[in-house]
Chain A
Amino acid sequence: MSTMAVPDIAVAPVETGFWTRDRKVGALLLALGLLAAGLFGSLATGEQARFTLSEDAAGAALEINGTVGAILFGIIGAAAGAALLAGVPKRWFTLLLGVGILGFVLSFLCWQVSAAPAGQNFMPLVNIVRGTFFLALPLIFGALAGVLCERSGVVNVAIEGQLLMGAFSGALFGSITGNVWVGLVAAAIGGAFISLLLAVFAIRYLVDQVVIGVVLNLLAVGVTGFLYERLMQTDAQKYNSAPRFGSWDIPLLKDIPVLGPALFRGNIFLYLGLLLVLVIHIALFRTRWGLRTRSVGEHPTAADTLGVRVLAVRYRNVLLAGVVAGIGGASYTLALYSFTKNMIGGKGFIALAALIFGRWSPTGALLAALFFGFADQLATYLGAIGSSIPSQFLAMLPYLATILAVAGLVGRVRAPAADGKPYIKG
């Protein structure tokens, strides 16, 4: 990107001349594709790389010779990059970008799967898809919480804290009452509690929203960690043995190959998360509430002039965000694990990345969360087949992708105009 002499201005550069954004991305994809074809192709073995449609090596599978696959998909990726570089109409950008990235990933997979130890040259797609959604789930909830908050103009860095508090109070009250639904409600309230603090300090006391978000995360870590050590560790039976939601099979849909076992034999949180994406998407772009939310986030003064109660909308949205994130936290403690200290472990920040990567839209956030979930799952899988790629570098992928996205390399990222700016009437 150093080819562009940006004047001494700290704003996104205006693209002019030959090197438009499309061309730069094209050049990048072309280079990656050629690298894949050359490097991955030469490293791949002649073994068949099998992508099975089941949970193990058996059953129907898509298979291709490792070397052939690595070179073929690399060339496909490079071709997409070349097309972008040559200059194609704008509307093709997303498609070609997708093809380019997919080609690179598939080439990489062909190499990895074919180079795995003998007998392990297969990739069970059911597990991969299921794992992707599983790992993406907290990110989906967290990113949706971010969407609700930031679309109304309040920066939500406290997603981590909201998830953590939700997980904690879900576990605590679920255990005390022995009722999983009480736990769910408690989790929602726990998340909303952190949200309430965020709202009061950001909206009422005009504290910098990023600052208060960071501090609230630490507060949530401290409070839950403290109560965990004092209560849950001393009497786990009483305070940390919440009942769990079982998995609900959906008839008919569960028999779809690959997607069925992965998606429609999940627990309530999976369905709820996907449903929420849809609901929030429709609500945000098709309802009066959504219009008000967006107007408050983009131009609060104008919204106020038209009679929208700016602060009330913000309070409501921030609290809703807490409810959503709290339920997301409960997807840990009311379905999978018992509570442990700092169990969210940075997922809230990846959710923030997913929110930004998904350009502050619910569907974008979903896709970004799935991408991050996939990277995560891939790291696990490659670790299991003894890959030569260190899993830590794969784990860095979501963060690096977000940095690239924010730097404007993969599409323009623009926050709601009034995001983070407190509104003072008058």
Chain B
Amino acid sequence: MTTNPPAGSPDKEPATEAQAEQNAVGNADQATAPTATARKPDEAEARPSLGRTFLENLWAANTVTVTVLALVLAMAIGAILIIVSDPEVLATYGYITARPADALNASWSVVSEAYANLFKGAVFDPQAFSDWLNGEAGWQAVLGPLSETLTYTAPLAFTGLSVALAFRGGLFNIGAQGQAIIGVVLAALAGFLLPLPPVLHLLVAVLAGAVGGALWGFIPGILKARTGAHEVINTIMLNYVAIYFLSWIIVQSWVQNADRADAISRAVDSSAQLPRLLGSGLRVHAGILLAVLATWFVAWLLNRSTFGFELRAVGANPDAARTAGISVTRTYVLIMVIAGALAGLGGANMVLGSTADALTPQVVAQIGFDGILVALLGRVKPWGVLLAALLFGALQAGGNRMQSYSGISLELVTVLQALIVIFIAAPALVKAIFRLRAARAARLQTSLAKGW
């Protein structure tokens, strides 16, 4: 839109971050590296002014830049919330005209400490690293934050994929929460009711979760296909039906933990639990591998299979798809069944993994709703969703540390997540705030679902 950022301006920092992330994306998976990284080698030989082109691209309103800037904006607003809600820091603003340094220092220390803890809890804690070098602590402490991040990532990846898949087919699946709940119920029931040998038991429990979710996705799917009832309304309603069903089934005598008076079920047998990947000290479990597998599957389904083609055709224009001979009814039902199964797997993760081993009313937390955010942040592309889930998992893991070390409520993470997605959803706003240039042929509109 306007000129390039001058060197040394504050703009530079997000730009390098964007670069770093782009490289990371490129290394992790070629399929997701959309623009600059993938093209880089060719352009290096073709054009001498590569550096300049690259910088220009960085400051254009492309997907990665907007995502990073959305993150920056969200964290800035989060910082304001931290300052405003701290009476001591707020008090220093009372005499800001007399001693501005006080207010700024106090604000900086409280915000930087909070965000430092967020980072240490999610990615890497230098203290643990130096302890390990000095032989004072084990390597587990170094990998601890990453293990936590991956633990939180797995269920979010499933629900995110669920929402994203439905989105691509033109359906808005707000019901991932309900599907995850039914999934977690069936997975847990299979986990402690069926006496099966170890490996088989786990497979059956995971499958039960998928079946539960699929069932809960089938209902809005068939209603949409047969009566035209809007799936947004029905999935919201089914979320609540599922919540009440969960709270009912927990207190049944054949489910409830006999030793407890509160609403908690029996524990899942150890033979049905997902194995931990890095020993019992770290919580990361095989669910993350399943999540990667599911991402690969959804990517294949969407981009390589016949059904994926039909799904995208229906999503783009149901009338045209019908004219072309695609069964819209069948496609809608199948979309919701697969989406439901994915969300159900996410739910199964919550009770078969290391997060919990028994049903409680809160057992699936918010993974269904967070899945919506993850899907939007991942631009409804499978590998994008996985990366978004990773970011959200990191925020969650870091948020825990931030809460216990800095006393900043975990709710801040919810705020950050919602804000990031708001900015992502309105790229025009981010573009206007940072005066980004319009990107060539960049499709940034996330608008997918239609009205009622």
Pairwise interchain contact B414-A218, C-beta atoms closer than 8 A: yes
Q: Is B85 an interface residue (CB 8 A)?
A: yes
In chain B, positions 376-421 with a C-beta closer than 8 Å to chain A are 376, 408-409, 411-419, 421
Q: Contacts of A13 on B, CB cut-off 8 Å?
A: 226-228
In chain B, positions 321-344 with a C-beta closer than 8 Å to chain A are 322, 327-329, 332
**CB contact under 8 A between A155 and B451, given known A10-B228, A201-B425, A407-B223:** yes
Stretch of B18-26, B135-143, B188-196, B235-243 with 4 or more beta carbons under 8 angstroms from chain A: B235-243
Q: Contacts of A395 on B, CB cut-off 8 Å?
A: 244
Pairwise interchain contact B237-A399, C-beta atoms closer than 8 A: yes
Pairwise interchain contact A222-B411, C-beta atoms closer than 8 A: yes
Q: Contacts of A399 on B, CB cut-off 8 Å?
A: 237-238, 240-241
Q: Is B106 an interface residue (CB 8 A)?
A: no
Q: Is B91 an interface residue (CB 8 A)?
A: no
Pairwise interchain contact B409-A225, C-beta atoms closer than 8 A: yes
Q: Contacts of B227 on A, CB cut-off 8 Å?
A: 1, 6, 12-13, 407-408
Q: Contacts of A408 on B, CB cut-off 8 Å?
A: 227-229
Pairwise interchain contact A229-B411, C-beta atoms closer than 8 A: yes
**CB contact under 8 A between A421 and B451, given known A201-B422, A218-B418, A403-B223:** yes
Interface centre among A12, A206, A407 (most CB of B within 10 A): A407
Q: How far is the CA of A216 from the CA of B447 in the complex (A)?
A: 16
Pairwise interchain contact A211-B446, C-beta atoms closer than 8 A: yes
Q: Contacts of A207 on B, CB cut-off 8 Å?
A: 425-426, 446-447
Q: Is A208 an interface residue (CB 8 A)?
A: yes
Pairwise interchain contact A392-B244, C-beta atoms closer than 8 A: yes
Pairwise interchain contact A393-B81, C-beta atoms closer than 8 A: no
**CB contact under 8 A between A8 and B328, given known A210-B232, A226-B85, A353-B237:** yes
How near does chain A come to B315, taking the closest CB pair, in angstroms? 13
Interface size on B, residues (CB 8 A): 62
How near does chain B come to A411, taking the closest CB pair, in angstroms? 13
How near does chain B come to A309, taking the closest CB pair, in angstroms? 21
Partner of B373, one of A218, A349, A390: A218
Q: Is A378 an interface residue (CB 8 A)?
A: no
Q: Is A419 an interface residue (CB 8 A)?
A: yes
Q: Contacts of B411 on A, CB cut-off 8 Å?
A: 221-223, 225-226, 228-229, 341
Give me the interface of B with A, judged by CB distance under 8 Å: 81, 85-87, 172, 174, 223-230, 232-234, 236-241, 244-245, 247-248, 318, 322, 327-329, 332, 369, 372-373, 376, 408-409, 411-419, 421-422, 425-426, 428-429, 445-452
Complex A-B: 25 CB contacts under 8 Å: A6-B329, A8-B329, A9-B322, A10-B228, A10-B318, A10-B328, A12-B228, A13-B228, A201-B426, A210-B232, A211-B446, A214-B372, A215-B418, A215-B422, A215-B425, A225-B411, A227-B85, A346-B240, A349-B236, A353-B236, A395-B244, A406-B233, A408-B227, A408-B228, A415-B451
By Cβ-Cβ distance, the 9 closest A-B pairs, closest first, are: A420-B451, A222-B414, A230-B85, A225-B411, A222-B415, A229-B409, A219-B418, A415-B452, A392-B248
Give me the interface of A with B, judged by CB distance under 8 Å: 1, 6, 8-13, 155, 157, 197, 201, 205-212, 214-216, 218-219, 221-223, 225-231, 234-235, 341, 346, 349-350, 352-353, 356, 390, 392-393, 395-396, 399-400, 402-403, 406-408, 415, 418-421
Known: A1-B226, A395-B244, A406-B230. 15 other contacts (CB 8 A): A6-B226, A201-B429, A205-B429, A211-B446, A214-B369, A214-B372, A218-B414, A221-B414, A222-B418, A225-B411, A230-B85, A341-B411, A396-B241, A402-B237, A406-B233
